[in-house]
Amino acid sequence: MQDLSSSKTPKSLAFIKGKCPQCRRGNVFSSPAYGFALQKTNEYCSHCNQRFEIEPGYFYAAMYVSYAMNMAEMLWAGIVTYYLLDRNLAWETLWTYVISILLVSIVLSPFNYRYSRIILLHWLSPKIKYKPELDVEHLKHKA
Ligand SMILES: [Zn+2]
């Protein structure tokens, strides 16, 4: 049996679950993406105390990531609608396209909010690096 308390968290899992990029244990968000509570980004990692918004206005950069994700999703929704309508691009189908693209955009907006910040923290933040010594069940002393 593997000792789970000392095993290291894979990057992919930390990414999907929205964990801190430094220790891969603490949550970046205080609530799930889809739920009754409004999504909030924690200020500090509850496990290793890494500050997530490393400088003021840092998450503005996430807006560009979110924008790119949104564009890709809307394009995808348009293509799917095109095939669902049997490749019909007639003028009467315009609203079907508009509604399906807007619907996808609205439904995915909590997802985009969350993952644009996770992408920013995990892939686009050279200042935050994974520290395996922090990826343990109990930290001896907080950093
Ligand atoms: Zn952490």
- Express each pLDDT in 61-99 by its tens digit: 999 999 999 999 999 999 999 999 999 999 999 999 999
pLDDT of residue 37: 82
Q: What is the percentage of the chain residues whose pLDDT exceeds 90?
A: 84
Question: Has residue 142 been placed in a domain?
Answer: no
CA of 126 to the centre of ligand 1 (A): 15
pLDDT of residue 71: 97
pLDDT of residue 1: 47
CA of 101 to the centre of ligand 1 (A): 36
Question: Has residue 140 been placed in a domain?
Answer: no
The total number of structural domains that make up the chain: 1
pLDDT of residue 39: 87
What is the distance between the alpha carbons of residues 113 and 132, in angstroms, rounded to a whole number?
A: 27
pLDDT of residue 93: 95
Tokens of 14: 């930390």
CA of 24 to the centre of ligand 1 (A): 6
Question: Has residue 39 been placed in a domain?
Answer: yes
For residue 30, the enclosing domain spans 11-134
pLDDT of residue 141: 60
pLDDT band for 7, please (50, 70, 90 cuts): confident
Question: Has residue 90 been placed in a domain?
Answer: yes
Distance of CA 138 to the CA centre of its chain: 26
28-35: list long-range contacts, CB under 8 Å, 24+ apart: 28/52, 28/117, 28/118, 28/121, 29/114, 33/110, 33/111, 33/113, 33/114, 34/110
Predicted confidence (pLDDT) at residue 6 exceeds the cutoff of 80: no
> In 3D, which of 2, 7, 109, 114 has the Cα closest to residue 52?
114
Phi/psi for 80 (5° steps) reads -60, -45
Beta bridge partners of residue 29, listed in sequence order: 41
88-91: list long-range contacts, CB under 8 Å, 24+ apart: none
CA of 118 to the centre of ligand 1 (A): 13
For the chain, what is the mean pLDDT?
92
Question: Has residue 139 been placed in a domain?
Answer: no
